[in-house]
Structure 1
Amino acid sequence: MLKHWPPLGALRGFEAAARLGSFHKAANELHLTQSAISQQIRSLEAYLEQPLFFRNGRSVALTDAGHDFLSTTQALLQQLSVGVRRLGQYRKANQLVLNTTPAFARHWLLPRLGDFRRRHPDVDLWLFSTDEVPDMATQTIDLAVRDDISAQAECSFKVLHADCLYPAAHPSVLTLPREQRTTLHGEREMDWSHWAVEAGIDVGQQDQGLNFSDPGLLLDAACGGLGIALVSQLLSQHARDNGLLQPLVEATIRGPNWALLTHRDSENDPLARSFSQWLIGNLTPGGSDE
């Protein structure tokens, strides 16, 4: 048994840098500075008394020893994450951790949480919204509902809803002449180029305007009367029901697929099943959607 172990932070920094092939990317992932990552790896190399990386300017590559130590480090961190996850049985009773995107949380889930709470008051829901796709194997998350997620190890994967997109605006914007309407631009599927290719309908969209990286903020801007936008049919339903959005045309184009990821440890959890059944019921046509 070793009398002294390398610091856990140094092992995490090494694993991230080795996996990503970059000290800079490792620093971004771990929310550290690049100099901090470099210092961690230097201290680890000093402890092991051999280099783990070849350094050539800004590029880095693993040495043979580095490749060997990477497999050991990843196995160690994985085992530690599993052990930490098992401690979840000692956490606050009835807690359910749900990860989703900020846009889904704000525009779809939040307006319906009251209904879920009335139906399942015993579930202590922790809503964990992130822009980044979570790693379900290393984070204590029971369920994830996202439009940017794919199958992961240790999880079941189910596509819940095939979304559609359509051009819309606040009713006040539609009283303006088309040439006076500001165009709101989004990213990914909400880019107007998809509408031009798939629908081929000119609704007065312009190349210039306001640009948004967050689809939730794009929807907020459209509801606030800032201009016309290509929006999610699923996320905009609450706004349409409340008279904040009106479609420019009836046509729609394909949007992203919303999927549910359930960690293997939570598949038989009655709390997770309660939420999953409620979610599917609300996303399925004809299901309850208050």
Structure 2
Amino acid sequence: MLKHWPPLNALRGFEAAARLGSFHKAAEELHLTQSAISQQIRSLESFLEQPLFFRNGRSVALTDAGFDLLSTTQALLQQLAVGIRRLEQYRKPNQLVVNTTPAFARHWLVPHLADFHQRHPQIDLWLLTTDETPDMATQTIDIAVRDDLSAQAECSFRVLLEDRLYPACHPGLLELAADARTTLHGEREMDWSHWQVQGGADVGQHSQGLNFSDPGLLLDAASQGLGIALVSQLLAGRARDQGLLVPLAEQTVRGPNWTWLVHRDSQGDPLTRSFCDWLVGALEEDSKGVEPPLGQGY
């Protein structure tokens, strides 16, 4: 990491002069005088301690060092421009930032977003998925909906749903003998040890097989017929309705709690309330048969 950086204006002046092959044209493009461009180039050459241009009267040509710096400078300025344009999203007046896990987003929230958008087209929803639990105090997040949350300062914490887990596989695997099916292993509650500790029946699971850290990928693998898996009753509902999963036992065991954190500064916001009310209603509709402690209020 450099301790000192050349001025950004000097890099802009250099890039324009190098691209256009003229100090005069660079000055016109940047609305500066030609002497100002020349001074920027000289200061940059002095900083780098080597020439960037061959000068022959009014014509200029890049040195080898100049060619090298041009590609770097253009990439830097382009990335900076993209980053600055991206900041416009934070100025949108009706933006609502919702954080969740990739698995919940892919297998439950995104399939329901059409309904939400139809009901609340004025809300500019920003869906932020992360594997790690967010820090609501330092990140710009209005609502977090996840299965790995605990209470945080200055946030409303609420249990939305107590999930249930069950063993399942693609219907095509039912033709195989139980001990011939590949076992798909997940983490936390999706690990088969959790099924066994909770008194789950033997459905032919093995200690070896394929392993997944993402419960969403685990569910995808089971739906595509790779093997048997312990799946979330909430997240697997769509795959089961589509005929991609069938349960291997009527028994279910306790799964993770789906909870939310609503930031204190967002609690009175009508956009936040609209999303929270919609979310509670959609979960109630989708989770019939799952244990839902869905009381009113925040």
1:155 aligns with 2:152: no
Per the alignment, residue 138 of structure 1 pairs with 138
Q: Following the alignment from structure 1 to structure 2, what is the Cα–Cα distance between the partners of residues 241 and 280?
A: 21
Q: Following the alignment from structure 2 to structure 1, what is the Cα–Cα distance between the partners of residues 200 and 276?
A: 37
The answer to whether the 8 A contact 1:267-1:273 is kept is yes
Per the alignment, residue 213 of structure 2 pairs with 213
Q: Following the alignment from structure 1 to structure 2, what is the Cα–Cα distance between the partners of residues 264 and 111?
A: 28
Pair member with larger Rg: 2
Q: Sort the Cα spacing of 1:210 and 1:235 in 2 relative to 1 into closer, same or farther, 3 A.
A: same
Q: SS of the residue aligned with 1:277?
A: helix
Per the alignment, residue 172 of structure 1 pairs with 172
TM-score of the superposed pair, with normalisation by structure 1:
0.67
Q: Sort the Cα spacing of 1:286 and 1:112 in 2 relative to 1 into closer, same or farther, 3 A.
A: closer
Q: Deviations over 1:151-182 (max 9, x none)?
A: 10110011000001000001111121112100
Q: How does 1:81-160 map to 2 (within 5 A)?
A: 91-160=91-160
The answer to whether the 8 A contact 2:160-2:257 is kept is yes
Q: Following the alignment from structure 1 to structure 2, what is the Cα–Cα distance between the partners of residues 198 and 157?
A: 27
Q: SS of the residue aligned with 1:131?
A: coil
- What's the CA shift for 1:251? 0.3
Q: SS of the residue aligned with 2:132?
A: coil
Q: Sort the Cα spacing of 1:96 and 1:221 in 2 relative to 1 into closer, same or farther, 3 A.
A: same
Q: How does 1:246-285 map to 2 (within 5 A)?
A: 246-285=246-285
The answer to whether the 8 A contact 1:281-1:287 is kept is no
Equivalent residue pairs, number: 202
Q: Which moved more, 1:157-166 or 1:171-180?
A: 171-180
Per the alignment, residue 85 of structure 2 pairs with none
- What's the CA shift for 1:200? 3.5
Q: How does 1:171-250 map to 2 (within 5 A)?
A: 171-250=171-250
Q: SS of the residue aligned with 1:195?
A: helix
Q: Following the alignment from structure 2 to structure 1, what is the Cα–Cα distance between the partners of residues 258 and 150?
A: 10
Q: Sort the Cα spacing of 1:237 and 1:256 in 2 relative to 1 into closer, same or farther, 3 A.
A: same
Match of 2:272, as an amino acid? A
Per the alignment, residue 9 of structure 1 pairs with none
Q: Following the alignment from structure 1 to structure 2, what is the Cα–Cα distance between the partners of residues 286 and 225?
A: 24
Q: Deviations over 1:216-240 (max 9, x none)?
A: 1000000010000000001101111
**RMSD after superposition:** 2.0
Q: Following the alignment from structure 2 to structure 1, what is the Cα–Cα distance between the partners of residues 270 and 278?
A: 12
Q: Deviations over 1:4-58 (max 9, x none)?
A: xxxxxxxxxxxxxxxxxxxxxxxxxxxxxxxxxxxxxxxxxxxxxxxxxxxxxxx
- What's the CA shift for 1:281? 0.4
The answer to whether the 8 A contact 1:100-1:130 is kept is yes
The answer to whether the 8 A contact 2:234-2:287 is kept is no
Q: Following the alignment from structure 2 to structure 1, what is the Cα–Cα distance between the partners of residues 167 and 187?
A: 14
TM-score of the superposed pair, with normalisation by structure 2:
0.65
Q: Deviations over 1:116-158 (max 9, x none)?
A: 1111111100000000000000100000000000110110011
- What's the CA shift for 1:285? 4.7
Match of 1:102, as an amino acid? P
Q: Which runs of 4+ in 1 moved over 3 A?
A: 285-288
Q: Which moved more, 1:193-202 or 1:270-279?
A: 193-202
Q: Following the alignment from structure 1 to structure 2, what is the Cα–Cα distance between the partners of residues 287 and 102?
A: 19
Q: Sort the Cα spacing of 1:98 and 1:195 in 2 relative to 1 into closer, same or farther, 3 A.
A: same
Q: SS of the residue aligned with 1:244?
A: coil
The answer to whether the 8 A contact 1:199-1:251 is kept is no
Identity of aligned residues (%): 71
The answer to whether the 8 A contact 1:199-1:252 is kept is no
Q: SS of the residue aligned with 2:171?
A: coil
- What's the CA shift for 1:286? 7.5
Q: Sort the Cα spacing of 1:287 and 1:226 in 2 relative to 1 into closer, same or farther, 3 A.
A: closer
Q: Sort the Cα spacing of 1:179 and 1:200 in 2 relative to 1 into closer, same or farther, 3 A.
A: same
Structure 2 stretches lacking a partner, 5+ long: 1-87, 289-298
The answer to whether the 8 A contact 1:183-1:228 is kept is yes
- What's the CA shift for 1:101? 0.3
Q: SS of the residue aligned with 2:203?
A: coil
